[in-house]
Amino acid sequence: MLKSMLTSTFALVLLSGTWAQPTSVPELLSSAEKLVSEKRLEEALEQYKNVFGQDERSTTALFNIGWIYNEQHKYDSATRWLKKGAQIDPKDAKIQHELGFAYAKLNNAGGSIDAYSKACQLKPDRAASWVGLGDAQFEMKKDYSAAANAYLKAIEVGANSAATLYRLGWCQNQLDQFDKAQANLKKAADLEPKSAAIWLEWGYALLRNNQPSEAAQALTRANVIDPKLRLGHLYLGRAYLKMGNKKQAQRQVEELKELDLESARQLDAEIRKGSNP
């Protein structure tokens, strides 16, 4: 009798679906989404692939498969799946953005810039795509004008982060736009006051903009945060030299001797010549 009751209960459980695995596309998508929220990415990946097995035009599955592979640092795999999604729906901004990220990780400048550009065109209010485009231009192409334009657009639509402002300022320094650079780097320093890199770049902008006293203050701050900052001591020495304070400039030579002899010799030669770099 007990055996009969257990068999009946088991049958009811199966019929109710409590132990049944998801099989339909909506069930699989719901299950995969839950697995992602629980950070069970490998299991979610299998569910999304099951969706693709039933519907090869599911851009939802293709996007998420690519996204998971990106999270797992499997960028070649990510691009293969995301390209399929982009072919099915070339107007899917999320797929283009994720494809731009994967190509960037593979150091494919052309692919990354093309995908991010499409993502920006499709969804121009998405700040992350503009930042991605700027980073691709900045890191791989070294096109600082194009990168600056992308960062400006990113900031316009909401990416007002210290990292974006810093890179924008860096680009503007490279383009000899020192007034603009120092304004953006000041904002970056306000947001991230403990970043030696930001204070260094701001000090450089001030130095190149013939504001040596203000440059010395920013560069001193950079050197306090990171005493081993070679360029921080080199630029600070030059700032003091512009101010006519050769004694303080010479102190930076001594600091540089512990960090980089070539930079120490360079600054010492500039002091001896009384040059204003």
List, for residues 202-230, the tens digit of each pLDDT value: 999 999 999 999 999 999 999 999 999 99
Asked whether residue 215 is assigned to any structural domain, the reply reads yes
Report how far apart, in Å, the C-alpha atoms of 202 and of each of 58, 181, 218, 241, 256 are.
48, 7, 7, 18, 20
Last residue in a domain, options 114, 141, 168:
141
Report how far apart, in Å, the C-alpha atoms of 272 and of each of 238, 248, 276 are.
12, 13, 11
Answer with the residue of higher pLDDT: 22 or 179.
179
47 and 131 in a single domain? The answer is yes
Query: Residue 249 is part of a domain; what is its CATH number?
Result: 1.25.40.10
Cα(102)–Cα(83) distance, integer angstroms: 11
15: pLDDT confidence band, cut at 50, 70 and 90? very low
What local confidence, expressed as pLDDT, does residue 5 receive?
40
> Of the candidates 153, 73, 77, 128, which has an alpha carbon nearest to the alpha carbon of residue 116?
128
**Structural domains of the chain, count:** 2
pTM here?
A: 0.88
> Of the candidates 129, 136, 135, which has an alpha carbon nearest to the alpha carbon of residue 157?
129
What is the DSSP secondary structure assignment for residue 177, as one 8-state letter? -
List, for residues 233-243, the tens digit of each pLDDT value: 999 999 999 99
List, for residues 74-133, the tens digit of each pLDDT value: 999 999 999 999 999 999 999 999 999 999 999 999 999 999 999 999 999 999 999 999
Cα(119)–Cα(42) distance, integer angstroms: 27
Q: Does the structure show a pLDDT above 70 at 20?
A: no
Domain, as residue range, for 83: 27-141
Last residue in a domain, options 122, 141, 160:
141
42 and 132 in a single domain? The answer is yes
- Look at the block and give the residue holding tokens 């512009």: 242
Asked whether residue 259 is assigned to any structural domain, the reply reads yes
Asked whether residue 126 is assigned to any structural domain, the reply reads yes
Last residue in a domain, options 119, 141, 163:
141
Asked whether residue 8 is assigned to any structural domain, the reply reads no
4: pLDDT confidence band, cut at 50, 70 and 90? very low
274: pLDDT confidence band, cut at 50, 70 and 90? confident
Taking a C-beta distance cutoff of 8 angstroms, is the pair 225, 194 a contact?
A: yes
137 and 196 in a single domain? The answer is no
Cα(195)–Cα(239) distance, integer angstroms: 20
120 and 38 in a single domain? The answer is yes
> Of the candidates 214, 223, 138, 134, which has an alpha carbon nearest to the alpha carbon of residue 182?
214
Q: Report percent pLDDT > 70 for the chain.
A: 91
Any residues with CB less than 8 A from the CB of 80 and at least 6 apart, and which?
none
Amino acid identity of residue 40, one-letter, is R
Asked whether residue 9 is assigned to any structural domain, the reply reads no
Asked whether residue 163 is assigned to any structural domain, the reply reads no
